[in-house]
Structure 1
Amino acid sequence: MPKNSTMRSADPSKRDFCRTALGTGAALLALSPCAPALAAIQAPAFPVKPITLLVPFPAGGATDVQMRALARAASQSLRQPIVIVNQPGVSGTLAAAAMARSAAPDGYTIAMISAALFRLPHVQKVNYDPVADFSYIIGVTNYSFGVVVAADAPWKTLPELIAAVKAAPDKISFGGIGQGSSGHIGIARLARAAGFSLNYVPFKGAAEVLQATIGGHVQVMTEAGWGSMVESGKLRLLAVMDEQRTPRWPQVPTLKDLGYDIAVRSPVGLAGPKGMNPQVVKALHDAFFAASSDAQFLKALEVQGQPYAHLDTAQYSRFAVTQTASDKRFVDELGFKLNE
């Protein structure tokens, strides 16, 4: 190439600029107008494949119906299918615990969280930390627990039932989901306050408890998920464990109405494994929040007498901390331990 070529004789100020640009390429790229577009290419929008939602109760139960309705609506916002996988067991904590141990924190495997997750570490050995091992996404409802008997049972009121249990404690059994669940704790508190012996039978899910109660295998159900059977006349609701009477059955008293200072709060929400990208958490929260106004989901809640109760990501994360601590205090005060 000739000595006086154009490239050799480029403006020195331009050559200095090019050297500076090459030497600080990463910084200049970050400052350039193209940076957002390049970042989007490197990090594709979430989600790009189906999402798995683990439900900790059997298929066909009230919770399963609610979660399927919610997932169908959320999948429309996310534009990806949400596949329900039922993993019942360990008082409704098996699914979340398995996810925390083995799922990648990429948002493609999430789990429904029941309130037993916060309590169980205080009553038995578990392989998860309810505060440290989860990325909490959203709270969507609260379970409504009740004291329920078959429609043809001889007891029309809770005081009548308590009197019968005191007279023949071995003949009346109470059914609920697992041991250490919200229903189990609630009825254990009532047994202590009212002074009767508790004959408690654990089941994997509400659907099993319902069938056992209707069939006479247990005499009392102390769970959520009874609404449709009470509505159809197959079960009789004697009392609710909420702070207030349920709007669907306003004539039914709370435990507090009957003189027992007992109320069970049991929020239901969604979480993923620890370490999830906040943007992925936000995408999931926003999709499920939009889905919570879906008519089928709201109808599924109404049938069971459950309220819609939204907790955003920050609120749900704080709830996990406070509920874990308060459950420990409560369990210590009650002296409740499994298999004792």
Structure 2
Amino acid sequence: MKTTTSVARRHFVLGGLGAAALIAAPARALAAGYPERPITFICPWPAGGTADRSMRTICQIAGSELGQPIALENRAGASGMLGTKAMASAKPDGYTIGQIPISVTRFAQLGTVQIDPLKDLTYLARTSGQTFGIAVPANSPFKSLKDVVTQAKAKPGILTYAHAGIGGATHVGMEQFAQAAGVKFNAIAYKGGSAALQDVLGEQVDMLADSSSWAPHVESGKLRLLATWGEARTPRFKDTPTLKELGFDVVVEAPNGIGAPAGLPPDVEKRLRDAFRVAVQSDDFRKVAESIDAPVMYQDGPDYRKYVQSVYRQETELIRKLNLKEMMAKG
């Protein structure tokens, strides 16, 4: 026979469990209901570029997975850091996400963006790398990279190259090459690769250092590709040597990824990671990536975070080696 005390205790325990369930219910309902409205995706590069194109495809597929549209918003400037800062400063509710340029690991240490990439961002997915290269107008006197180096040694600081922003991958990669070759160029900074490309096509600048914005113009005969910067030759331009093949120990692939502000609720983070995993591994994205010579380099959020941590340490040494702080101060 149950005593009055045991019955009371049982009622207390059940009542406590019921209260806990009621308290947890709204949180579960919130997670289950995400997303309930469109998501904003900040692309830190200009419209029309290779990054813009690939991110639009990813957003379309991920949006279908989530059941809500993902609206891409271009916020270009400061070598991709303007948009990255805006994304990192947004409310961590899963409704503002964006592309993370790996160069944030460099700019954070240079002090040009007030973001700690090890603390201020949630990493969702590494997406793809980039095929960087050096291209010149078709009627340029430079038929090979050897011609460029010879001229640069004869006239230090005269040859110009266009790049997508001081301290960014195209600028730093070109300066790594210049240091390895023992030459000095005149670097001309632009707000993005599209603007840099137009001035090289217009023959206002001698060379273009960029990801594959040059590709269709190389194929049409308007530009000549002198070298690519990857570990191996790109299949689309298999006749073009890499910097490494030509004797310069420089490899730049700069894989980008997708992230959100720090503090994202775990259930929301999982929903986004799952959606972007499907998007990056889809045939549609692979086709777009192939068309812009962007090798797919997928990593899930936790592995992507570890990758960023390793790059952060590498950038510390690169900043010292290239005297980047002094270079940034001079503009």
TM-score (normalised: structure 1)? 0.89
* Post-superposition offset of 1:225: 2.8
d(CA) in 1 for partners of 2:212 and 2:91? 32
What residue in structure 2 maps to residue 143 of structure 1?
Answer: 130
d(CA) in 2 for partners of 1:14 and 1:73? 60
Q: Deviations over 1:238-268 (max 9, x none)?
A: 1011111111111111111011111113011
Aligned pairs for 1:12-27 (under 5 A) are: 13=3, 16-18=6-8, 20-22=10-12, 25-27=15-17
Instruction: Please state if 1:189 is matched with 2:212.
Output: no
Letter in 2 for 1:210: L
What residue in structure 2 maps to residue 280 of structure 1?
Answer: 268
d(CA) in 2 for partners of 1:175 and 1:302? 24
Letter in 1 for 2:136: V
Query: Pick from 26, 50, 67: which aligns with 2:55?
Result: 67
Letter in 2 for 1:330: L
**Matched residue SS, 2:210:** coil
Instruction: Please state if 1:153 is matched with 2:154.
Output: no
What residue in structure 1 maps to residue 163 of structure 2?
Answer: 176
Aligned pairs for 1:6-85 (under 5 A) are: 13=3, 16-18=6-8, 20-22=10-12, 25-27=15-17, 40-41=28-29, 43-85=31-73
* Post-superposition offset of 1:23: 5.8
What residue in structure 1 maps to residue 298 of structure 2?
Answer: 310
What residue in structure 1 maps to residue 218 of structure 2?
Answer: 230
**Matched residue SS, 1:271:** strand
Contact 2:200 2:206 (8 Å CA) reproduced: yes
What residue in structure 2 maps to residue 256 of structure 1?
Answer: 244
TM-score (normalised: structure 2)? 0.91
d(CA) in 2 for partners of 1:24 and 1:96? 49
**Matched residue SS, 1:305:** coil
Query: Pick from 278, 283, 288: which aligns with 1:300?
Result: 288
Contact 2:31 2:267 (8 Å CA) reproduced: no
Letter in 2 for 1:310: Y
- Label 1:317 to 1:157 Cα distance change in 2 as closer, same or farther (>3 A): same
Aligned pairs for 1:75-224 (under 5 A) are: 75-101=63-89, 103-169=90-156, 171-224=158-211
RMSD: 2.3
Unaligned runs of 5+ in 2: none
d(CA) in 2 for partners of 1:303 and 1:60? 14
* Post-superposition offset of 1:206: 1.2
* Post-superposition offset of 1:221: 1.0
Letter in 2 for 1:93: M
Q: Deviations over 1:254-308 (max 9, x none)?
A: 1110111111130110111111122211211111111124444222211221111
- Label 1:272 to 1:240 Cα distance change in 2 as closer, same or farther (>3 A): same
d(CA) in 2 for partners of 1:126 and 1:305? 29
Contact 1:57 1:87 (8 Å CA) reproduced: yes
Q: Deviations over 1:76-111 (max 9, x none)?
A: 10110000000111111111112212x111111011
Q: Deviations over 1:41-99 (max 9, x none)?
A: 36443211111110011111111111111111111101100000001111111111122
**Matched residue SS, 1:262:** coil
- Label 1:240 to 1:37 Cα distance change in 2 as closer, same or farther (>3 A): same
Contact 2:134 2:225 (8 Å CA) reproduced: yes
Letter in 1 for 2:16: A
Write 1 or 2 for the structure with the bigger share of helix: 2
d(CA) in 2 for partners of 1:66 and 1:42? 30
Residue correspondences, number: 327
Q: Deviations over 1:9-62 (max 9, x none)?
A: xx97578525642466233565x8x99877633644321111111001111111
**Matched residue SS, 2:311:** helix
Letter in 1 for 2:126: G
Residues 15-24 or 260-269, more deviating:
15-24
Query: Pick from 208, 225, 228: which aligns with 1:240?
Result: 228
d(CA) in 2 for partners of 1:84 and 1:232? 30
d(CA) in 1 for partners of 2:196 and 2:7? 76
**Matched residue SS, 1:248:** helix
* Post-superposition offset of 1:192: 1.5
Percent identity among equivalent residues? 35
